[in-house]
């Protein structure tokens, strides 16, 4: 899927249907001069329902749907005939979609399972017909209930990609290259910063037909909290990941400092993200000879408090070892 087709944020206005009016009809049949009240109930207004669909992974299909309106309930009629219910409107969304009230920014609910349905705008209840109100002292009621009005609200749909492993790193650290080597994904790769402008997903194939999902997001730079680079906009896509895989290139001036800067940016975005399992990957290690690599290991062992490994996506060095390590972490 191209970058322009990945949509993870949509605002829209939804309105359910009005409930139908109850009927105040009085029976007027031949040979039944005073048949009495027989007005039927009004039909229910249609709901607006949000439904999870595992075959979707973007909100592209909703990008240009700004107004969603369910059908109105039909009015009741004679012979106690109930009006037809209004047609429900279904909005299929990918798993991991968060639904917010746009005006209050309150999270209403979240869709995490295939086929899960939540009513976002409830249809109005149909009014009762006049036959409900007849009694010994009111044998000919000439009134009925109106239907309950529709509900309407402005909502925001936010997609948080569901993946097992999230790649975190500065621009040009080799995240997209790693994703292209470990999976069948084909992200845009070039030798300039911010090549990746939208998240990319790939399925990593493991031994015995097992697999896990890896997500690549645009690069983070120091000061993202102040809006530098692409800011924090895409960090929500790694909130659900079980493992955060940090990538720092072997030719970086200070590997430990770059890792700490990335960690600090995540802390400023959401401190809970630091509770996730973390692993550091020193990428582009084909630039190093064994002697230089040994020297760097001594320094990293002294200054780092997490596991790390050297690898190269281009030279395919350490790919299987990385898969083994990630699978072990996911299933520990």
Phi, psi at 321, each rounded to 5°: -60, -40
Neighbours of 196 (CB within 10 A): 24
Is 88 part of any known ligand binding site?
Answer: no
Is 4 part of any known ligand binding site?
Answer: no
Is 313 part of any known ligand binding site?
Answer: yes
Is 286 part of any known ligand binding site?
Answer: yes
Is 24 part of any known ligand binding site?
Answer: no
Is 312 part of any known ligand binding site?
Answer: yes
Is 23 part of any known ligand binding site?
Answer: no
Residues 9/93/236/161 CA torsion (nearest 10 deg):
-130
Calpha distance 263→243 (Å, rounded)? 14
Is 18 part of any known ligand binding site?
Answer: no
Beta bridge partners of 281: 247, 309
Phi, psi at 328, each rounded to 5°: -65, -40
Is 284 part of any known ligand binding site?
Answer: yes
Is 174 part of any known ligand binding site?
Answer: yes
Is 82 part of any known ligand binding site?
Answer: no
Q: Give residues with Cβ within 8 angstroms of 165, minimum separation 6.
A: 204, 212, 213, 214, 215, 241, 242, 243, 244, 245, 326, 330
Give 296-300 contacts, CB < 8 A, sequence gap 24+: 296/250, 296/255, 299/256, 300/255, 300/256
Is 175 part of any known ligand binding site?
Answer: yes
Is 218 part of any known ligand binding site?
Answer: yes
Helix/strand/coil for 121: strand
Phi, psi at 71, each rounded to 5°: -80, 155
Is 173 part of any known ligand binding site?
Answer: yes
Is 58 part of any known ligand binding site?
Answer: no
Is 276 part of any known ligand binding site?
Answer: no
Is 171 part of any known ligand binding site?
Answer: yes
Q: Give residues with Cβ within 8 angstroms of 191, minimum separation 6.
A: 172
Chain centroid to CA 40? 43
Give start and end residues of each alpha helix (H) in 158-243: 175-182
Is 176 part of any known ligand binding site?
Answer: yes
Is 96 part of any known ligand binding site?
Answer: no
Q: With b meaning 16 or more CB within 10 Å and e meaning fewer, what string describes 24-63?
A: bbbbeeeeeeeeebbbbbbbbbbbbbbebbeebbbbbebe
Is 97 part of any known ligand binding site?
Answer: no
The DSSP bridge pattern shows strands 9-15 and 152-159 to be: antiparallel
Q: Which residues are annotated as a binding site for Mg(2+)?
A: 176, 196
Q: Which residues are annotated as a binding site for GTP?
A: 169-176, 194-198, 216-219, 283-286, 312-314
Q: Which residues are annotated as a binding site?
A: 169-176, 194-198, 216-219, 283-286, 312-314
């Amino acid at each position: 899927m191209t970058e322009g087709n990945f949509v993870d944020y949509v605002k829209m206005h939804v309105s359910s249907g009005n409930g139908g009016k109850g009927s105040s009809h009085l029976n007027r049949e031949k040979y039944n001069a005073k048949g009495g009240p027989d007005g039927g109930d009004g039909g229910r207004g249609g709901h607006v329902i949000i439904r999870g669909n595992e075959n979707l992974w973007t909100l592209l299909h909703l990008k240009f749907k700004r107004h969603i309106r369910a059908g109105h309930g039909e009015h009741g009629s004679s012979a106690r005939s109930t009006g037809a219910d209004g047609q429900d409107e279904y909005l299929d969304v990918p798993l991991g979609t968060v639904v917010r009230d746009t005006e209050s920014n309150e999270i209403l609910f979240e869709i995490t399972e295939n086929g899960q349905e939540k009513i976002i705008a409830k249809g109005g209840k149909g009014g009762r017909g006049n036959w409900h109100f007849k009694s010994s002292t009111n044998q000919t009621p000439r009134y009925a209930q109106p239907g309950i009005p529709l509900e309407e609200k402005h909502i925001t749909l936010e997609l948080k990609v569901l993946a097992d492993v999230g790649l975190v790193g500065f621009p040009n650290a080799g995240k997209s290259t790693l994703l292209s080597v470990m999976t069948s994904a084909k992200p845009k790769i070039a030798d300039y910063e911010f090549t990746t402008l939208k998240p990319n997903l790939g399925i990593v194939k493991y031994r015995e037909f097992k697999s896990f999902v890896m997500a690549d997001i645009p690069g983070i730079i120091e000061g993202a909290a102040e809006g530098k680079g692409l800011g924090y906009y895409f960090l929500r896509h790694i909130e659900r990941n079980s493992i955060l895989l940090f990538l720092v290139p072997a030719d970086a001036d200070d590997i430990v400092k770059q890792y700490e800067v990335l960690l600090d940016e995540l802390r400023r975005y959401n401190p809970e993200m630091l509770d996730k399992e973390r692993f550091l990957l020193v990428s582009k290690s084909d630039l190093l000879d064994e002697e230089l690599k040994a020297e760097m290991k001594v320094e990293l062992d002294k200054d780092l408090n997490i596991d790390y490994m050297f690898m190269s996506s281009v030279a395919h060095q350490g790919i299987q070892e990385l898969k083994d390590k990630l699978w072990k972490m996911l299933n520990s």
